[in-house]
Amino acid sequence: MAGQDGGGRYDPTAVEAKWQQRWDETKAFAARVDADRQPYYVLEMFPYPSGRIHMGHVRNYSIGDVIARQRRMAGYRVLHPIGWDAFGMPAENAAIQHGAHPAAWTHDNIAHMRHQLRRLGFSYDWDREIATCEPRYYRWEQLFFLRMLARDLAYKRRALVNWCPRCNTVLANEQVVNGQCWRCDGPVEDRELEQWFFRITAYADELLRDLDRLGGWPERVVTMQRNWIGRSEGARIDFPLDGRDGALTVFTTRPDTIFGVTFVSLAAEHPLVPTLVRGTPAAAAVDAFTARARATSRLERTAGKDGVPTGAFCRHPLTGERIPIWVANFVLMDYGTGAVMAVPAHDERDFQLARAHDLPVRVVVQPDPPLDAATMTEAWEGPGTLVASGEFTGLPSDEAKARITAALAATGHGEATVNYRLRDWGVSRQRYWGTPIPVVYCDACGMVPVPEKDIPVVLPEDVAFTGTGGSPLATHEAFLRTTCPTCGGPARRETDTMDTFMESSWYFARYTSATTDDVPFDPAEVAYWLGQRGVDQYIGGIEHAVLHLLYSRFFTKVLRDLGFLQLDEPFRNLLTQGMVIKDGAKMSKSKGNVVDPDYLIDRYGADTARLFCLFASPPERDLDWNDQGVEGMSRFLQRLWRLTQSLAPRLAPAGAPLPSPLPPPDQELHRLVHRTIQRVTDDVVDRLHFNTAISAVMELATAIAGAVETARPATLREAVDVTLVLLAPFVPHIASELWEVSGHPGALDDAPWPRADAAALVREHVELPVQINGKVRARVTVAADAGEDEVLAAALADERVQEHLDGRPVRKHVLVRGRMVSLVV
């Protein structure tokens, strides 16, 4: 592009301030229901108000903003909201460490981050901003909790839970990563506590089944959720106790191996263990063993398989044989029944325990070549033919599963059943900065839900943060002491608060009705924006693949069943963006490789920052930060600025018709304009590959610069207009400014998204590569509508083709219309 001058230097700070102010004043991005137009809901995972925006946010919100702005120009009514996931531990830790109140700390952070987001020019409907720490928000959560309680979807029980001693609170299973706390990375311990749970397991089957409907989700997220839910089909089988009443119930996925059972293993925590060993010679050894197992963390328990005999026996349900009962360290109390039938020949863990303690190994599933129980060194877990299995001998193991289960069911010793790895969601947190759980405890009436008319139960602000002794709520007398809604007597409030994943499980629905205070969701708004579709496009980090994305799916189904939503799935399409990497590691304070968005905006402007995040890699991949790459984006915008400024006086008026017929020099540019429309639209709408969309516009801009001297004013006008319109979603400020400079009276945000003109894409001649024996040897130019014979003749007539054929006859030819010619000699 020539270094034409005119119109002054590109000053992003001034340009961006001007347009941000205008968008603000005109409420350009307010989402309004309009029955005549298609709704489109685009949402980015809302930020935790940690204090500052980081590059991951810039990337996340830039992606969302491109989609929101493009859909808006394409004629949709767009809902594109923002808010704050404002409850959580860092606020509380700041209070303990610096004395700032969590509320003040949170609100300060929100104010700062809001300012940063505004400087980036995202097209949010700021009137729908929410902060989850406000009673206006969490009161509805308390309502949902009460309704769930009434339906037995929320319940309290004493349970072994994950306890983080550093964070002083319980963690959900989803929040334990490799035996460590997801937040502080400290080791997680088991503790037995009275806890609130949500019955997510009641939805396990639907959560699993509906994964098949999530065609707009990345396969790996679907897979991770499928594995997390972990459905196993099998059987529940009773082994009657020997010499006493009752039975031991096990769960197995291999009922076909039941004739190979040589012992039964119980979890250390199994309630039957003390009963079985009390007063027996085995008691001391078993007590020592279970005590040791309980004291070890889950991580350490994986060290090796071990067990101890209880001295008690049960009876095989089909043969009546006496079976010894063991306690084993690898049996989990919270999966299945906490008891397993041990089949050493066909389960590796049982095999190891059997070999270690000289317990019998009995082969009952025989593969080819056959196994020898005496010499085998590992369990055979594959299929085979049943042997030594009574009337079932000779059956293939697959078939035997159902047959044996049926036989057990017939005698009342078992039934087919399904087990899930998924556990109920523990939602109690022994922390202050969260939604109070709306129940009270009365000495006379027990646990009593707070009546709906009395919510919100507001989190008191006048609390003391000592950092020790658990939740400050537990010592706040005014909060704690209340009266029982049932009997009017003295009662005390629940001091646990809800897991912060509660707030994020339904915020997407609240955006439809952010300012409604009489009901959680305004019927008209929620029907229009969410309806039965859900969020049209959701964008966020992969780290939430199981946590947030599973909880919100569950919560959506609960809200549907409670009558609040008509929705089965919250997010129709999901885009999981990669991390922002610099110098080979994720940007983080501890690594010292953070790039501050404020610095970037000050130095280059928001448009450059946005453009780089979108250009450097496709969204689902990690983005490798590169300071020089940012310079490159800045250079492109400056080139665009100079080009448009210098060209503006020479352009035909906006909307001027193209010359007809188009002179040949203009045809090329005109065609490229429409090909670019096609490419960018496809990339932005269908592929979500913004990097290639941007490169296409760059090519168009280069072509315009090259055609300045030859193309007609109207052709240049079309090219410049299309360039700016296509760039508007990516770099809205500079595009708006240049749109105005180039003589458009209206705002660029209101310009319609262009359509590619099929006629413009037609070419008269095409250049085809000619392959000889699979290698490209020449190129020939033929009429676009040339027939096969004509193309072949042209190829054979080519001098270079003749050279390479060297007189040999063409044995075979392949012609692909408009693509290539292939000759075989």
Partner RNA sequence: GCCGAGGUGGCGGAACUGGCAGACGCGGCGGACUCAAAAUCCGCAGUCCGAAAGGGCGUAGGGGUUCGAUUCCCCUCCUCGGCACCA
For residues 669-698, which are near RNA according to CB under 7 A?
Answer: 682, 689, 691-692, 694-695, 698
Please give the biggest Cα pair distance in the chain.
Answer: 108
Ramachandran assignment for 75, one of left (phi > 0), alpha (psi -120 to 50 degrees), beta (any other): left
Contact by Cβ (8 Å): 339, 266: yes
Which one of 46-54, 225-233, 561-569, 752-760 is the stretch in contact with RNA (CB under 7 A)?
Answer: 225-233
Q: Name which of residues 233 to 252 contact RNA (CB under 7 A).
A: 234, 251-252
Decide: residue 45, CB within 10 A, 0-12 exposed, 13-18 middle, 19+ buried: buried
Q: How far is CA 369 from CA 355, 372, 384, in A?
A: 22, 10, 10
Closer to RNA at the Cβ: 191 or 421?
421
Closer to RNA at the Cβ: 475 or 638?
638
Closer to RNA at the Cβ: 519 or 814?
814
Q: How far is Cα 486 from Cα 42, in angstroms, rounded to an integer? A: 45
Contact by Cβ (8 Å): 269, 338: yes
Smallest separation, CB 68 to RNA (Å): 22
Residue of 329, 644, 715, 723 interacting with RNA (CB under 7 A): 329
Q: Does 776 bind RNA (CB under 7 A)?
A: yes
SS3 for 447? strand
> What is the token pair recorded at 643?
């080009």
Smallest separation, CB 640 to RNA (Å): 10
Smallest separation, CB 234 to RNA (Å): 5
Smallest separation, CB 628 to RNA (Å): 3
Q: How far is Cα 796 from Cα 791, in angstroms, rounded to an integer? A: 9
Closer to RNA at the Cβ: 32 or 765?
765
Residue of 95, 164, 325, 331 interacting with RNA (CB under 7 A): 331
Closer to RNA at the Cβ: 117 or 587?
587
Q: Name which of residues 406 to 465 contact RNA (CB under 7 A).
A: 419, 421
Smallest separation, CB 378 to RNA (Å): 12
Q: Which residues have C-beta within 8 Å of that of residue 74, sequence separation ≥ 6? A: 685, 752, 753
Q: Does 524 bind RNA (CB under 7 A)?
A: no
Q: Which residues have C-beta within 8 Å of that of residue 78, sequence separation ≥ 6? A: 29, 31, 39, 40, 41, 42, 68, 71, 72, 123
Closer to RNA at the Cβ: 341 or 363?
341
Q: How far is Cα 379 from Cα 639, in angstroms, rounded to an integer? A: 69
Contact by Cβ (8 Å): 824, 811: yes
Q: How far is CA 442 from CA 152, 438, 484, 495, in A?
A: 20, 13, 6, 14
Contact by Cβ (8 Å): 597, 623: no
**Got the DSSP string for 354-421?**
HHHTT------EE-SSPP-TTT-SS---S--EE-S-GGGTTSBHHHHHHHHHHHHHHTTSEEEEEEES
Smallest separation, CB 13 to RNA (Å): 18
Q: How far is CA 823 from CA 446, 771, 783, 810, 818, in A?
A: 88, 6, 20, 6, 16
Closer to RNA at the Cβ: 355 or 689?
689
Amino acid at 203: Y
SS3 for 807? coil
Q: Name which of residues 716 to 775 contact RNA (CB under 7 A).
A: 767, 769, 771, 773-775
Q: Which residues have C-beta within 8 Å of that of residue 229, sequence separation ≥ 6? A: 204, 207, 208, 420, 421, 422
Residue of 7, 779, 796, 805 interacting with RNA (CB under 7 A): 779
Closer to RNA at the Cβ: 50 or 638?
638
Q: Does 336 bind RNA (CB under 7 A)?
A: yes
**Got the DSSP string for 370-387?**
PP-TTT-SS---S--EE-
Closer to RNA at the Cβ: 129 or 350?
350
Smallest separation, CB 301 to RNA (Å): 4
Pattern of binders to RNA over 700-719, x per CB under 7 A? --x--xx-------------
Amino acid at 518: D
Q: Name which of residues 249 to 278 contact RNA (CB under 7 A).
A: 251-254, 267
Residue of 190, 335, 561, 654 interacting with RNA (CB under 7 A): 335
Which neighbouring-strand residues pair with 814? 822
Residue of 338, 414, 520, 729 interacting with RNA (CB under 7 A): 338
Closer to RNA at the Cβ: 94 or 264?
264
Smallest separation, CB 226 to RNA (Å): 8
Which one of 83-91, 526-534, 541-549, 785-793 is the stretch in contact with RNA (CB under 7 A)?
Answer: 541-549
Pattern of binders to RNA over 132-171, x per CB under 7 A? ----------------------------------------
Smallest separation, CB 364 to RNA (Å): 14
Q: Name which of residues 286 to 325 contact RNA (CB under 7 A).
A: 298, 301-305
Q: Does 393 bind RNA (CB under 7 A)?
A: no
Q: How far is Cα 317 from Cα 429, in angstroms, rounded to an integer? A: 44
**Cα 811 from chain centre:** 55
Token pair 């830790």 in the structure block, residue: 93
Q: Does 224 bind RNA (CB under 7 A)?
A: yes
Closer to RNA at the Cβ: 232 or 475?
232
Smallest separation, CB 379 to RNA (Å): 11
Amino acid at 483: T
Residue of 117, 154, 308, 340 interacting with RNA (CB under 7 A): 340
Which one of 79-87, 223-231, 601-609, 727-735 is the stretch in contact with RNA (CB under 7 A)?
Answer: 223-231
Q: Name which of residues 104 to 123 contact RNA (CB under 7 A).
A: none
Which one of 108-116, 338-346, 355-363, 756-764 is the stretch in contact with RNA (CB under 7 A)?
Answer: 338-346
Closer to RNA at the Cβ: 315 or 679?
679
CA angle 667, 712, 9 (to 5 degrees): 115
Q: Name which of residues 169 to 198 contact RNA (CB under 7 A).
A: 177-178
Q: Name which of residues 629 to 658 contact RNA (CB under 7 A).
A: 629, 631-633, 635-636, 638-639
Q: Name which of residues 781 to 810 contact RNA (CB under 7 A).
A: 804
Smallest separation, CB 540 to RNA (Å): 14
CA-based nearest residue to 182, from 593, 581, 547, 594: 547
Smallest separation, CB 711 to RNA (Å): 15
**Cα 376 from chain centre:** 44
Smallest separation, CB 482 to RNA (Å): 39
Q: Name which of residues 590 to 629 contact RNA (CB under 7 A).
A: 615-618, 621-624, 626, 628-629
Closer to RNA at the Cβ: 43 or 698?
698
SS3 for 624? strand
Q: Name which of residues 805 to 824 contact RNA (CB under 7 A).
A: 812, 814, 816, 819-820, 822, 824
Q: Name which of residues 30 to 89 contact RNA (CB under 7 A).
A: none
Closer to RNA at the Cβ: 20 or 397?
397
Closer to RNA at the Cβ: 42 or 821?
821
Q: How far is Cα 610 from Cα 254, in angstroms, rounded to an integer? A: 55
Give the β-pairing of 497-498 and 428-429.
Answer: antiparallel
Q: Residues touching RNA: how many (CB under 7 A)?
A: 88
Smallest separation, CB 450 to RNA (Å): 35
Smallest separation, CB 150 to RNA (Å): 30
Q: Which residues have C-beta within 8 Å of that of residue 317, sequence separation ≥ 6? A: 237, 238, 239, 240, 258, 408, 411, 413, 414
